[in-house]
Structure 1
Amino acid sequence: MDAYCAEIRKLEGKFYGIEYHHVVRDHNQPADQLSKIGSSRAAVPPGVFVQDLLASSIKQEKEVEEIPPAEQLVLAVPLPVADWREQFIKYLTSAEVPADKTKTECLIHRSKHYVLVDGNLMRKSAKEGILQKCITQDEE
């Protein structure tokens, strides 16, 4: 679908004006019926012609990925992922916040859902007041 949108974007400059209208499915019954027939693989009703497209109707530029010579290859070693709970624990115990104002506001807002119980970070559910223990992905 992105390739078709890109083709349309290329042609926009060749017109004086262009308008896009979104047609809600409820107002486009014939297209809706055809899509249901296609997805259910039901028999095609008489008067409807089927054309199977075996190739894309637009030309896509293929991205060619070049492999660098062996002396230019770099080994990427994943860094250990920081524990996501640390920021909440620091904020709840010592009110320590990040330097970035946006991150600080986000942390303060999100921390309202968390509480420390015996040094463990727990998430409070909004309605029932149930506490859920927060764990890392390694502990799953």
Structure 2
Amino acid sequence: MDDYVVEVCKLENKFARLEIHHVIRDNNVGSDILSKLGSTQAQVSAGVFVQELHHPSIKTTEPPTADPAPADASREVMMLDVDWRVDIINYILNEKLPTDKTEAVRIAGRSKGYVLVGRKLYKRGPHLVVLMKCIPREEGQALC
């Protein structure tokens, strides 16, 4: 997406005026219909032309290369198996937040999109109609 913003900025001086409006997804019926057509691969109506883009329409910047410096043998990476749902559930049930202020603000903000049904955590869908069950990472990886 950043590459498209760069392209717009390059063209900005070619116009007398440029306005960019953020349209809330609920109010953007056209893009909503297009995204549903694309995700379900539904048949389009007669008279509607479909163009599939297999490559970006602009040249993208090169991906960052890996650091060629040798790894420091004195450093180790420790993987922690922490259930990502715990902080959100603690906040919803007991209004208990982590002691780190930044993390506390993040958890409080994220928890607004979740709901507990019984003892199970669900994420609300965009229109509050669909509830998506939240599962631990290991359970999700087992499904793949």
TMscore range, shorter length: 0.3 to 0.5
Structure showing greater Rg: 1
Q: What TM-score do the two structures reach when normalised by structure 1?
A: 0.46
